[in-house]
Amino acid sequence: MKHWAGFRVDILEGARIALFSLRANRLRTVLTTMGIGIGVATLLAIVGIIQGLNTSFHRQLASFGANTLYVSKYPMIIKGDWWKYRGRKNFTLEQVHRLRSMAPFISAMSPSVSRLADVSYASEQMSTVRIQGVNHEYLSISGFDITNGRFLTEADEEVTRPVAVLGADVADRLFPGISPVGRTIRVDNRSFQVVGTLSRKGKVVNESMDLLVIIPFKTFYSSFGKGRPFEIAMAVGDAGQVRAAEDQLIGILRRIRGTTPGEPDDFNINKPEAMAQTYAQLTGALYGVAVGVGLITLLVGGIGIMNIMLVSVRERTREIGVRRALGARKRTIVVQFLMEAASVSAVGGLLGTTVGLGTAKVVSLITPLAADVQTGTILGGVFFAALVGLLFGIWPAARAANLDPVEALRYE
């Protein structure tokens, strides 16, 4: 207990002397603080932007639904030979109907095919709009809601009606301030009557999910040709059974597509999780580089602190000699200089945190990049800045404590 009381006195007295020294050398303190502050600001700004992107991406990815699966001859992310997948057989509508009857655990299923096209109404025109052909069950799979009018019906599908449901971006651009329901749009010079509009879904990987026009699947094929491969979108009735449903689907699909035992699957069951894993791999490398840049900047700031502290030890050599001659222990001297180094770093960390957060927010306001700095990151930045000061203050503190009192008193 006595030992702890003495150590506490050393800390309090060291902090008081450290603050007095910093106040007495304002210019030196400011310059040293700036080095650490720039490092922390750089680190927090970059980390904040990356964390914001991650939060935004996962929120947008959740809009696909936790119980959705997409069956296609292509994987969601192609990492190898594209020609290997291109040579696979296309799915057929007959296979879709057989799959629907053999998979009772699927609550909704729809073929899905798409292309890009020009869309116009009166004098307004939009380019590269995604035109998607689906059936009436697609609404419960996609996560969209109807904000005006209705969605596609079985009758629309059966008689190949030229009807369309508009995404939010298309509706806002072509029909500002008015309802598009009942009006006729042109899709690559083909007329479609608007029967409804969809809720806004936002962007995924900087691609708008609302730049979309949905039409009946058979209408798509009759209007734009039947040669395009399509995927099968489906929703599992029980979100907790997605993995089991995936295992059952593999067997059913191999049977439907006539895949013989020993042959590899000629299809892929894609899940939004695959996109999340690929995104994590891409941003993980970026995150590492960004953190590395911030740490290098902090390292430079730490070296600056060490140099300034060594200068301070030299300037205060006589003071150290007087204190040692009066009975001050080495521990007391070490604590004093470590407190001084940590104080400079902590102040720099606080200033850097403020600048870093402000920079991240400004970037999020003037660019599409989001910013979301978590509380743990802020506290970690300040703590790490103080730790840098402690680490780089060890050598100057040890050098000060090991000065010979007699030689220090003679120093001019």
Per-residue pLDDT, averaged over 8-14, amounts to: 56
Which span out of 10-19, 263-272, 341-350 was modeled with the highest average pLDDT? 263-272
pLDDT at 175: 94
Cα–chain center distance at 181: 37
- Between CA 206 and CA 34 the distance in angstroms is 36
Compute CA distances 269 → 82, 112, 276, 387, whole Å: 17, 14, 15, 48
pLDDT tens digits for range 179-212:
999 999 999 989 999 999 999 987 766 678 899 9
pLDDT at 197: 96
What's the pTM value of the predicted model, to 2 decimals?
Answer: 0.65
Lowest mean pLDDT among 113-127, 261-275, 394-408: 394-408
Give the DSSP per-residue string, 395-408: HHHHHHHTS-HHHH
Report domain extents, the chain: 2-60+277-410, 68-271
pLDDT at 155 over 90: yes
% of the chain residues with pLDDT over 90: 23
- Between CA 350 and CA 340 the distance in angstroms is 16
End-to-end, the C-alpha distance of the chain in Å comes to 40
Q: Half-sphere exposure (CA, 13 Å, Cβ side) for 117? A: 21
Contact 88, 81 (CB under 8 A): no
- The H or E element containing residue 127 is strand 124-134
pLDDT tens digits for range 317-333:
777 777 777 777 777 77
- Between CA 336 and CA 328 the distance in angstroms is 11
- Between CA 70 and CA 237 the distance in angstroms is 15
Which residue, 138, 81, 128, is CA-closest to 107?
138
pLDDT at 140 over 80: yes
Per-residue pLDDT, averaged over 109-122, amounts to: 93
Per-residue pLDDT, averaged over 405-412, amounts to: 64
Contact 112, 135 (CB under 8 A): no
- The H or E element containing residue 312 is helix 272-315
Compute CA distances 242 → 188, 249, 267, 277, whole Å: 39, 10, 18, 17
Lowest mean pLDDT among 67-71, 261-265, 348-352: 348-352
Compute CA distances 402 → 9, 198, 321, 362, whole Å: 21, 75, 10, 49
Lowest mean pLDDT among 51-55, 93-97, 110-114, 330-334: 51-55
Please provide residue 191's backbone torsions phi and psi, each rounded to the nearest 5 degrees: -90, 135
Confidence of residue 351 (pLDDT cuts 50, 70, 90): confident
Contact 364, 38 (CB under 8 A): no
Beta-carbon contacts of residue 139 (< 8 Å; ≥ 6 apart): 146, 151, 152
pLDDT at 2 over 50: no
Contact 303, 392 (CB under 8 A): yes
